[in-house]
Amino acid sequence: MHSKTVEIGVGLFVALGLAALLMLAMKVSNLAELTTPDGYQLSARFDNIGGLKVRSPVTMGGVRVGRVVGIEFDDHTYEAVVQFSVNPRYSRIPLDTSASIFTAGLLGEQYISLDAGGDEAFMTDGGEITLTQSAIVLEQVIGQFLYNKAAEGGS
């Protein structure tokens, strides 16, 4: 009888551990938010989005205000078009807001950072941010640095 109680206790402990690992995996991979995001949709065009992915965060002043919901390629302008959803409680985003793609940490995930402008009119559903700064690709920066060093050494 005593061993049966121990077995049930160990089984519950293992089940709780597996549930905790599943929740951690969902949090880390952003799969916890698979539902269609509420809010209004905005878009921005970038020359290079680097490693930006669907469900990447959209921040403003360091606070997450939305998520990327779609990424497409415009074969007429040769730009990446990123659609993102903004939480409806952040409805006062000025029309002249700019969007940049940054990396969290040295090798972390990429996200969109919005920098508010000074316009008195605000973005609405379906609006497009026209002032954008593409992702900085680490390989290009290193290549440019090495090229400059080689050019300095050769002269």
Across the chain, what does the average pLDDT equal? 86
For the segment 139-151, the average pLDDT, to the nearest whole number, is 81
- 20-69 pLDDT, tens digit per residue, is 888 887 776 655 555 555 789 999 999 999 889 999 999 999 899 999 99
E-state strands within 5-62: 40-46, 57-60
Domain-located, residue 67: yes
- Same domain for 41 and 71, yes or no, is yes
Residue 68: what pLDDT?
94
Give the residue numbers spanning the domain of 19.
Answer: 1-34
With beta carbons less than 8 A apart as the criterion, state whether 117 and 95 touch.
Answer: yes
Residue 24: what pLDDT?
81
- 114-138 pLDDT, tens digit per residue, is 999 888 999 999 999 999 988 877 7
Q: How many domains does the chain have?
A: 2
Residue 155 has pLDDT above 80, yes or no: no
- Same domain for 42 and 22, yes or no, is no
- Same domain for 43 and 115, yes or no, is yes
Round to the nearest angstrom and report the end-to-end CA distance of the chain: 86
Give the list of residues 6+ apart from residue 53 with CB closer than 8 angstroms, or none. Answer: 68, 71, 109, 110
Report if pTM > 0.75. Answer: no
- Same domain for 3 and 71, yes or no, is no
